[in-house]
Amino acid sequence: MTTVFNTESTIVSNALQIKVQKEEFLQAVTTVFGAVSSKATLPILANILIQSNGPDQIILSGTDLELGIKTQCPATVLLQGAITIPAKKLYEIIRELGSGEVEITVGKNNAVNIKTNKSFFKIMGLEPDDFPKLPDPTAEQSFEMDRVVLKECLSLTIFAISRDETRYTLNGVLAIFKAKKARFVATDGKRLASIEKEINLPNDILFEIIIPAKTIAEVIKTISDGQGKIKISLSQNQIMFQIDETILISRLIEGRFPNYEQVIPKDVKTKTDVNRQDLLSCLKRVSLLTSQENQAVKIDFIKDRLLISSRSPNMGEAKEEVPAKISGDDLTIGFNPGYVMDVLKNLNDETITLAMTEPDKPGLIKNEGGYLYVVMPMQLS
């Protein structure tokens, strides 16, 4: 993979004058905006750093000290320099501008003028020298991964990450790379998502890391459609993703991920293959009559169909059937419909497998692509 940009770019001064195309600049601002902290205690962390990088390119950077994002943007550089600009306000201004060329000029006292043929804005920036330098780790291990595969793995696990900050090791995705395989796992204690793919790993690659939820979300957002590889590099407690013209550098979550394999059902007594979209549509309708007091939907596995129902004393009830060929024992089980719909919305398979053991044991949803989704049952009233 070719070098994206010079990560050793130096800050010349806060005198900067550039001309950029609105759409290209907006894309670059949007990319680095994802790393900016909305709750920054330091004012500089609410800003985006813009640096000239030769006569026809600028580099934009954002960081919250845990995640840093750098990207490049084509530009006509009339005056070399650098400035930091409030990220939210810059994004809002550029987003609302009409198409065409945008001129940005830094004046006295870090005043930033933004001009087009019809619009003029003046906002106050901050000294670029105060912007934190993004780490440039020397990779201890690095490899490339297909972008389509990586995006699929992250998209099918991110929604199962725990939001409970007291369980910090669950606030990210466990990534295991070994023996030519990559596995990604996430859990919040009520459901677990796991996907394993065969990839072309160097023989010496062997590690387990926990990647923070915010980093996962930004990697997914940054990966564009199409073919190609993404370079992944590791160094001590950091991971770096090189995606086209963008670099994301993130701290890793320290600690030990719980033993997830013990919650994956081993014995199956009832199983069915069912149309994913039919099941999703049915759950959307039936869940309309769940309530805070009665959150569960009931699923009855009956020979040639799934009977899905909900009941709330103060609202009413709903029932619907989904055709399915059931193998094994008849079984009745309750689930939080939101947890089941989360996975059905993100899978692309036409048919998925539901596998059950007992009414009080976790249920399993899987496909033929190495994906497993475990959901804890709910007590039916």
Fold of the 17-130 domain: DNA Polymerase III; Chain A, domain 2 (3.10.150)
**Tokens 């001309």 — which residue?**
19
Query: What is the CATH architecture assignment of 141-251?
Result: Roll (3.10)
- Whether the CB-CB separation of 258 and 251 falls below 8 Å is answered with no
Calculate what percentage of the chain has a pLDDT beyond 70: 95
More confident position, 180 or 153: 153
Per residue in 326-355, pLDDT (tens digit) is 999 899 999 999 999 999 999 999 999 999
- pLDDT of 323: 93
More confident position, 292 or 155: 155
Tell me how far CA of residue 105 lies from CA of 82, 90, 169, in angstroms.
10, 13, 45
Q: How does strand 67-74 pair with strand 57-63?
A: antiparallel
- pLDDT of 177: 93
Superfamily of domain 264-375, CATH level 4: DNA Polymerase III, subunit A, domain 2 (3.10.150.10)
97, containing H or E segment: none
pLDDT surpasses 50 at 235: yes
Query: What's the whole-model pTM score?
Result: 0.91
Would you kindly state where each structural domain of the chain is located, as residue ranges?
A: 17-130, 141-251, 264-375
pLDDT surpasses 60 at 9: no
Per residue in 172-205, pLDDT (tens digit) is 999 999 988 999 999 999 999 999 999 988 877 8
